[in-house]
Structure 1
Amino acid sequence: MPIAVDIDVMLARRKMSVGELAERVGITPANLAVLKNGRAKAVRFATLAALCEVLECQPGDLLRWEAEEAAQADREPAATGARTDGESSPRTRPSPPGSR
């Protein structure tokens, strides 16, 4: 995803733990970790506002846009035979007995 999350940078600047931030914002540490590690698909404005209030920062201090090529280069495993066309390999599971 071309949106990078820099919550860890602000946590370090504020000398605050993930647990303390989660408690002060009112979200679970697990949900904060999902957001912090860039795995979230969305963030509510109320959550973003609470993060900014607690960390005393602007939304742009927490989120930034990266060009897709740079973001993908960070995610691609090196020389593991991963497909580069954006498609994942199809996965098949055996059918349970008697299902055909």
Structure 2
Amino acid sequence: MDIGNIVLIVIFMGLSDVILSLLWKKSPDLFDSIRNKTVKWHGNFIVQIIVFLLLSTPFISLGFYFNIGKVWLAAISGLIYAITSIVFRKERN
């Protein structure tokens, strides 16, 4: 994985996080119910990173196996990161 892939993944992580944060402000009850049903360790950054790595690694591996473009891999990683950050966030911004 070269620097370009890492930069793309970080860009898509930020974009996905912003988009899901805006959606969270529109319908907070949906995200709160998902968060309350799935995770008890709200705000634990280490657990968030572990969950992100566990969720994103299979998708990235399959992406490399099937030769999916790096933009799609970055988008998938960004979306997974944003979902885990929403789930683990302690309170709405």
Q: TM-score, normalised by structure 2?
A: 0.25
Q: 1 or 2, which has the higher strand percentage?
A: 1
Q: TM-score, normalised by structure 1?
A: 0.24
Q: 1 or 2, which has the higher helix percentage?
A: 2
RCO higher in structure (CA 8 A, sep ≥6) = 2
Bigger Rg, which one: 1
